[in-house]
Structure 1
Amino acid sequence: MSRPATGGPAQRSAGERRAPARGRRALTSAGALTLVAMSATACSGEAARLGMPEPISEQGERVLTLWQGSWVAALATGAIVWGLIIWAVLFHRKRSDELPPQVRYNLPIEMLYTAVPFVIIAVLFYFTARDETYLEKTTANPAVVVDVTAFQWSWQFDYPQHNVSVIGSPAAPDENPGNKPVLVVPTGQTVRFNLHARDVIHSFWVPALLYKKDVMPGYNNKFEVKLTKTGTYEGRCAELCGVDHSRMLFQLKVVTPAEFQQFIDSKKAAGGTQ
């Protein structure tokens, strides 16, 4: 008596039922591993900032929030796209000579993949424009005004409200860091920076502010910040401006209002310049 041939319809149907089950288990495992990795990295503040320095101003907090929101939108979009790709690979890998169902000229699907990217771009544009307007906003009467003058290859910081100036000279990063001019500003008060250049284009950049601004000859740029944390932070020129561009360094020193007044008084006692 001959045996029934293996691989009959019953066995094939059982195998086809097992394949989707294996695919679902693989998809569930991949999702669990992704969640574990994301939760592990989110435990540190550095990971939460996604490579950004810790902000020291109200404006920097807004930049960080926009940066994080953009990452969330990108990750969500990527997760959906990769999820659809993995789903298609796992559940539609059966070989067949039949032509799969076609969706050409399917108006609902075409409207969906046209409208969804438009909505994503519109949302990102709205938050970017809103935050850019906030960052560029200036007030009529800031508490502290600093005229920042860039020149090859250092900085001058003038406080016109107090007739006080800090004038720097080029300093090699490792040889003589004490020559770096120090820009002293208070916390909790609106500080305006008026930016000027004597010679070529420079750029005023303090990474902890999460913001930089070009300093151009013949054009006055300005921006305002309200600082929230005390400390000393490194600043530099972020625009290639000549042979000693790398020496164009300064420090931003954020102090309490009382300490700022002491700084102004000491500079006045010393003749108003450093």
Structure 2
Amino acid sequence: MRQQDLPTPRRRPGARVLAGALGVLALGGCASGELRGNASTGWLPPSVTESGETVTRLWIGAWIAAIAVGLLVIGLIVWCIVAYRRKQDDTELPVQLRYNIPIEILYTVVPMLMVVVLFYYTARYESELVGTSKQPDLKVNVVGKQWSWDFNYVNDDVHEVGTQAILTGKPGAEETIPTLYLPVNERVEFVLTARDVIHSFWVPAFLQKMDMVPGRVNRFQVVPTQEGTFKGKCAELCGAYHSQMLFNVKVVSRAEYDQHMADLRAADQTGLLNNTLNREQLMKGQLDNETVDGGN
């Protein structure tokens, strides 16, 4: 038989899985410093908000529980293989049992307890993360639109209009991305609305995101604890240029935040954008001083 007639060996699924895992690890090593976690955070991005610490605790706790259950299952499998392996002098089949009450109770009760515990902690932390009962120091109405962001600084009665990011791969692209300013160590309530389709407000360093649904107002609060510039993006597929729906978040001192508000007033960006404006009106620069959320 000629060499070219030999059947081509098929790759094993395990090899493909291993190659994929190595690729993920390699790409993970290329992540920016802002997004790179470590063992202490469960390889989540380091949190820069108070609520982010809650997310990290829940994440690590869930992984510990999952690893413990996995080790238990693997241990039981190995024990069964070793303890009940067939011996050379075995001449009879083992006795078949119809019921084993202790085992049935074990595999019924234990999973139920696991689900109850996971549900309890998830519900507890979720109510804490999305709760808005505390009085915020300031409110920011974030408006999602195809494919950028508008920011209404409610307390300061100023606004900022964002335009779609122009990604050329060259230096200077950051200047085309809208920037949200927040004061450090102050409670901020985000009032999230959308002009056209469903978007999602996501700052990875906050370890928290929330959808923006047309005709609906969603809210959550954060307390930034670290100054710096962080990346934000839309996390809901919203059209052709979804990948370019980017923004920056600058967490700054109160003095720098007040200066930025003064700069917006000097640029005649006073008043708040009306959430009912459509894209055509925004492109013409028509502004409305009506406040969002009833002026609250």
Identity, % of aligned positions: 47
CA–CA separation in structure 1 for the residues paired with 2:240 and 2:101: 60
In the alignment, which of 72, 92, 96 is matched to residue 98 of structure 1?
92
- Structure 1, unaligned stretches of length 5 or more? 1-43
1:70 to 62, 65, 76: 62
Residues 37 and 43 in structure 2, CA contact (< 8 A), matched pair in contact too: no
- Taking a change above 3 Å as real, the CA distance of residues 162 and 219 of structure 1, as seen in their structure-2 partners, is same
Q: Against the structure 1 CA distance between its residues 140 and 87, is the aligned structure 2 distance closer, same or farther, given a 3 Å change threshold?
A: closer
Q: How many Å separate the matches in 2 of 1:103 and 1:62?
A: 47
Aligned length: 230
TM norm structure 2: 0.72
**Which moved further from structure 2: 205-214 or 95-104?**
95-104
Equivalent position of 1:191 in the other structure = 188
Deviation at 1:101, TM superposition (A): 5.5
Task: State the one-letter code of the partner of 1:144.
Answer: L
Q: What is aligned with 2:250? A: 253
Which stretch of the first structure deviates more once superposed, 118-127 or 135-144? 135-144
1:89-168 alignment to 2 at 5 Å? 89-95=81-87, 96-100=90-94, 104-139=98-133, 141-168=135-162
- CA distance, structure 1, for counterparts of residue 217 and residue 37 of structure 2: 37
Q: TM-score, normalised by structure 1?
A: 0.78
2:52 is aligned with 1:60: yes
Aligned counterpart in structure 2 of residue 88 of structure 1, from 52, 58, 80: 80
Deviation by residue 1:147-177 (Cα, 9 ceiling, x = unmatched): 1111111111111211121211111233532
For 1:100, give the aligned amino acid: P
Alpha-carbon separation, structure 2, partners of 1:170 and 1:45: 29
CA distance in 2, matches of 1:112, 1:104: 16
Alpha-carbon distance between aligned partners in 1 of 2:96 and 2:224, rounded to the nearest angstrom: 59
1:182 counterpart residue number: 179
Determine which structure has the larger helix proportion and give its number: 1
Give the structure with higher Rg (CA).
1
Partner residue of 1:227? 224
The answer to whether the 8 Å contact 2:203/2:230 transfers is yes
Q: Deviations over 1:209-240 (max 9, x none)?
A: 11111111111111111111111111111112
Contact 2:211-2:218 at 8 Å conserved across structures: yes
Alignment RMSD, CA only? 1.9
Other-structure match for 1:201: 198
Q: Measure, in 2, the Cα distance between the counterparts of 1:165 and 1:250.
A: 15
Gaps of 5+ in 2: 1-35, 271-296
